[in-house]
Structure 1
């Protein structure tokens, strides 16, 4: 028998906690047009066997990507790591192009969701907003010139990591990515 190649194929699912499973499903369906695909509910955690009722919901994020949530009614209220800035932890979802991104921005704002952006990251362009659970979500599309820019940035990634590791200061190797002013639509 041959040894299998140790290589991850893709993300199976990403799981977050939610305040209310039904509200979360409805919000993602209404605002991001995600399909609700599956739910599990147990009174005991399968991996640890501890008694703890939960509802585990799954949403289709496209191309085999799954976004999941746990509602945990017996646990203390949700919080976040106060030592991590709110802009750091986020889930970025890809959209087709700028027209789609702008249409999502308008759709979200029409539904009362506060949206930041469009932000120009050179390689891609994004909008940012929060779901009803306080999770930061980013929608992004790749810039038409992204492949060339990504190759240019990838060529200096090792040098950048090494310099960062030594100095903990931003290396300038790919500073061109954010030297343009950030743009708002």
Structure 2
């Protein structure tokens, strides 16, 4: 049996599609204070070989991880038309304190952005939720305590129970 792979070191980037790179840049740099740190621009998708012109931009957070966007030439429809609930797919970013979370909440409201929260999750995370100009759901969260083995044990039990109640055929 092949041993499991080494656990990833951390997040490099998560990528989404944008229909407006300019508005995306403004939002991530001016509203959220992130840095535009890199890009790739090609006529062919390296991972598939498809002929498709795109611009791939990277916005860096304090820890060096990024949220990235593809603007794809000729794509002009909303890519969020899926059967998934809009709340399910989201990108969560950490903040250092409740004060920082509350300041971000105010900043977003001042920008005219609709914000949901502050929501207390399990007494561990306090979060706010909002959408970027591309319809990507974002979360800013303050984690008030480190997760420990008791949390992991509880998570394993919850997963086991869920799987038992919601059996699926393995694909």
State the TM-score bracket (shorter-chain normalisation): 0.7 to 0.9
- Aligned twin of 1:16: 16
What secondary structure does 2:126 align onto? strand
The CA deviation at 1:89 is 0.7
The structure whose Rg is larger is 1
- Aligned twin of 1:161: 159
The CA deviation at 1:81 is 5.0
Deviations 1:76-108 (A, max 9, x none): 513225321111110000001100000001001
Deviations 1:38-90 (A, max 9, x none): 12211222222322110110110221201110001223513225321111110
Distance in 2 between residues matched to 1:86 and 1:130, nearest whole Å: 10
What secondary structure does 2:114 align onto? coil
What's the TM-score, normalizing by structure 1?
0.81
- Are the counterparts in 2 of residues 56 and 68 from structure 1 also a CA contact under 8 Å? yes
Distance in 1 between residues matched to 2:126 and 2:133, nearest whole Å: 23
Where do 1:104-119 residues align within 5 Å? 104-119=104-119
What secondary structure does 2:37 align onto? strand
Distance in 1 between residues matched to 2:155 and 2:40, nearest whole Å: 41
- Aligned twin of 1:49: 49
- Aligned twin of 1:34: 34
- Aligned twin of 1:140: 141
Structure 2: where are the runs of 5+ without partners? Answer: 167-171
What's the TM-score, normalizing by structure 2?
0.87
Distance in 2 between residues matched to 1:50 and 1:6, nearest whole Å: 31
Distance in 2 between residues matched to 1:45 and 1:28, nearest whole Å: 25
What secondary structure does 2:83 align onto? coil
- Are the counterparts in 1 of residues 17 and 79 from structure 2 also a CA contact under 8 Å? no
Distance in 1 between residues matched to 2:37 and 2:70, nearest whole Å: 14
The list of structure 1 runs, each at least 4 consecutive aligned residues, that deviate by more than 4 angstroms after superposition, is none
Greater CA drift, 126-135 or 17-26: 17-26
- Are the counterparts in 2 of residues 123 and 150 from structure 1 also a CA contact under 8 Å? no
The CA deviation at 1:132 is 0.1
What secondary structure does 1:156 align onto? helix
